[in-house]
Structure 1
Amino acid sequence: MAETLSDVQVVLNIENPSVPVNMGNLAVFVKGNKDGAKSYYSLDDVVSDYNDNVALQKAAEGFFAQGEHGEKFIVVTYADKLTLAADMFYTEGWEFAMLVPGTDNSSYMTDLSALAAYTEGKAERFIVYGLPATSDSVDNVETTVNTLGGGKRAIVFASGKDATEATYGAAALVGAVGNKTVGSVTWKFRTVGGVKPVNLNVTQIKKLHEAHVFTYVTKANINQTSEGFTLAGEFIDALHGDDWIKASIETQLQQLLSNSNKVTYDAVGIAQIDATVTTVLANATTNGIIEPNAETGAGTFTVTTVSRADSPAGDISARRYNGLSFEYTRSSAIHSVKVHGQINL
């Protein structure tokens, strides 16, 4: 795993019974001559550096074509092992990752599987893959799912008539939705600039949905995404919300520690840590990540702390506080409606 210079570690345990920055940034991995990473803020700069890579240009075009795209588009090159480059440049500020072909494509499918396994193992961030919306792709959708591992951190978006258009569509999806206020939007019903509705029949679209692959359709004269889930059937906005909470708590606690003369190991210092986490969870409720209480409107979350007296002596001597924990109930969204009517004669 990548080493980060931080004094805060947030571990999320998720039970499934039935704004920091960079939550909409896209990293595109491409095989090159050496490991490296560069951030881009315009399409022209990407085209200038990669005028011989159509797939990479199309990814950048799709991303930057969206009016509310993330702050930056990051190109990560790797010479040998993709996961080593991912570790090396993990702190470059990306939430979504794609893989596009380079000059040497001999290991493309192996690298695609590796990137999917990498994000799944991290239990944060996403891999996004563009699948051409063709009859052949529908017939072989299980192969795509198997290559990407079928995990909860893999997003497959079917659009376009070939791989180039599909790459544009996948990057455009991230640009259109990824940078909106996390928790405020579901990834279903979203309009994506430059992507055309697919020429697939209802049976074919249902087959994609059964594999937890979604696509782009027209409903009520509005072009929109047909669903918003990952290959494991998890909804993207719910997982994106988990990432937002984790990143926000890490950021806010690090700022508390760094900006304070001293956070004392007593009731006062522990209360500061408690208040910091509580504020993040309250903001997450406002944004729509956490379910509000129906009666009070307050978020359905709890924050628990352990006093100094109940903390292990070893933790106190090491100035290490492990006594805070929290839990919350995710918010949800309505994706379909069934209305029952009665006609009286």
Structure 2
Amino acid sequence: MANETKTTVAPYDRVLDVSVVMTVIRPRPVVGLGNLLILNPKTPAQPADGQTQPASLSDKLSDTDRMNGILMRKTDTATGAIYREYKNVDAVAVDYPEKSDVWNKASTYFAQSNHSDRVAVLDYDPAKTYDALKAFWYFNWTFAIQAVSKLDQSTVDLSNIFERNQDHFLVLQTNDISEYDNYFGQNYTIGLKHDIAEAMDAALVGANATLTVGSITWKFKELVGITPELLTSNELSGINRCKAIAYVEVNNRGETSEGWTLSGEYIDVLHGILWVKTNVQGKLENFLQENGKVPYEQRGITQLSGVVTQVLEEAYEQGIILTDPITGKGDYSVDTTSRDEQSQQDISDRHYGGLSFTYHVSGAIHTVTVNGQVQSDTILA
């Protein structure tokens, strides 16, 4: 690491009976499923929104870059897209001046109580959106918003990229819910209904996405710096019918009106599925890497099953998986098939395909109906 001290001499000895060794625990970078990417399309002939530095900067960060809070800079030579990570809104202002579109979104994001330790920005040629996103798809972000909120054919194409990959979320925002007609059924696109003068998209992600997956529902959430709307019941019904989310005033407090994507599936369900998929893949990969040899026999198969079981048990403890009412434990199962049940080709290729699991999603209560009974002493005629 750049801040490590290199020494070539031994420390002095001291005559003492007690020796105290101090270890400094530093915060780890947030690498998870809640980080934000701001999408900032620009034509090759134009600088990015308000950008104050040239696009030809080296990927290697200088000491000044690090002091300014720039965490990463990477250019995709094939598309010219530039990916950057910043530690706070002041760092964003190094490349995007105050009150610019990117700065405004980042400012709202960092104003939320549960923001990450970073925000990413991608400058890219809109004619090369697919390839630009492909280059940085598996960098450290999961939710994406637009620097300038708008809905058009290019946004439909963008939404389809997220829908096809099913492992990242696109958050869109408009004040006209009829613009969501072309996005009906999209599982991985979240549609917000709010005045685009306020960055509700950045606020929604900053308030919720980094919290423990499975521990929250995305309805009822208060957003810093976002003005609640006073909506009629008919207006809110229309928003709910198109599966969008508004920011409304309920019981004298602002809250998100729902917690779903444009398909009607709930964000916490999909976020939980993504968490389970990512952790099963990661933990199994680590297990294969860290063991000298996993034998292709029942012992090795049982070990693989145990890794998946550990992930599902953690998912249950986080609230992703439902409690089985009979056993009182997580409602999930892990199944394997024996070596003898694998094809000769799979055994020859050292591929095992007999591991599977199922789980029941733990939902949330979003509305409540209470039936009350009053005992009256009045005798009516």
TM-score normalized with structure 1 length: 0.85
Q: Is the 8 A contact 2:184 2:242 kept in 1?
A: no
Q: Distance between the aligned counterparts of 2:328 and 2:261, measured in 1?
A: 30
Q: Is the 8 A contact 2:260 2:266 kept in 1?
A: yes
Relative to structure 1, is the Cα distance of residues 293 and 248 closer, same or farther in structure 2, using a 3 angstrom cutoff? same
Q: Is the 8 A contact 2:222 2:256 kept in 1?
A: yes
Match of 1:200 in 2: 231
- The answer to which of 214-223 and 278-287 deviates more is 214-223
Match of 2:38 in 1: 28
Can you give the 5+ residue segments of structure 2 that lack an aligned partner in the other structure? 1-29, 45-79, 377-381
Alignment of 1:176-187 (within 5 A): 176-187=207-218
Deviations 1:263-294 (A, max 9, x none): 12111211111001011111111111111111
Alignment of 1:46-195 (within 5 A): 46-51=92-97, 54-79=100-125, 80-101=127-148, 109-132=152-175, 137=176, 141-146=177-182, 148-160=183-195, 163-165=196-198, 168-195=199-226
1:244 aligned to which of 250, 265, 275? 275
Q: Distance between the aligned counterparts of 2:146 and 2:295, measured in 1?
A: 46
Q: Is the 8 A contact 1:214 1:225 kept in 2?
A: yes
Q: CA deviation at 1:259?
A: 1.2
Q: Distance between the aligned counterparts of 2:148 and 2:216, measured in 1?
A: 31
SS of equivalent to 2:190? strand
Structure ranking higher on relative contact order (CA contacts 8 Å, 6+ apart) = 1
Give yes or no for the alignment of 1:232 onto 2:242: no
Q: Distance between the aligned counterparts of 2:343 and 2:83, measured in 1?
A: 42
2:246 aligned to which of 215, 238, 242? 215
Deviations 1:41-86 (A, max 9, x none): 2111112112287221121112111121134311122223211111
SS of equivalent to 1:249? helix
Match of 2:3 in 1: none
Q: Distance between the aligned counterparts of 2:36 and 2:337, measured in 1?
A: 39
SS of equivalent to 1:22? coil
SS of equivalent to 1:205? helix
The count of aligned residue pairs is: 310
Larger Rg: 2
Q: Is the 8 A contact 2:185 2:264 kept in 1?
A: no
Q: Is the 8 A contact 2:98 2:104 kept in 1?
A: no
Q: Distance between the aligned counterparts of 1:170 and 1:45, measured in 2?
A: 20
Q: Is the 8 A contact 1:55 1:164 kept in 2?
A: no
Deviations 1:182-217 (A, max 9, x none): 111000011111111114333212211111111112
Q: Distance between the aligned counterparts of 1:337 and 1:200, measured in 2?
A: 20
Q: Is the 8 A contact 1:58 1:164 kept in 2?
A: no
Q: Is the 8 A contact 1:117 1:149 kept in 2?
A: no
Segments of 4+ in structure 1 off by > 3 A? none
1:235 aligned partner, one-letter code: Y
TM-score normalized with structure 2 length: 0.77
1:222 aligned partner, one-letter code: R
Q: Is the 8 A contact 1:23 1:244 kept in 2?
A: yes
1:268 aligned partner, one-letter code: R
User: Identity, % of aligned pairs?
Assistant: 34
Deviations 1:285-335 (A, max 9, x none): 111111111132211111111211211121122121111111111111110
Q: Is the 8 A contact 1:159 1:196 kept in 2?
A: no
Give yes or no for the alignment of 1:318 onto 2:328: no
RMSD of equivalent CA atoms: 1.9
Q: Distance between the aligned counterparts of 1:153 and 1:88, measured in 2?
A: 19
Relative to structure 1, is the Cα distance of residues 143 and 175 closer, same or farther in structure 2, using a 3 angstrom cutoff? same
Match of 2:26 in 1: none
Deviations 1:168-189 (A, max 9, x none): 2111100101111111100001
SS of equivalent to 2:362? coil
Q: CA deviation at 1:39?
A: 1.5
Q: Distance between the aligned counterparts of 2:223 and 2:116, measured in 1?
A: 14
Alignment of 1:238-317 (within 5 A): 238-317=269-348
Match of 2:56 in 1: none
Indicate the structure with greater helix content: 1
Relative to structure 1, is the Cα distance of residues 222 and 289 closer, same or farther in structure 2, using a 3 angstrom cutoff? same
Match of 1:344 in 2: 375
Q: Distance between the aligned counterparts of 1:333 and 1:52, measured in 2?
A: 39
1:169 aligned partner, one-letter code: M
1:151 aligned partner, one-letter code: Q
1:131 aligned partner, one-letter code: T
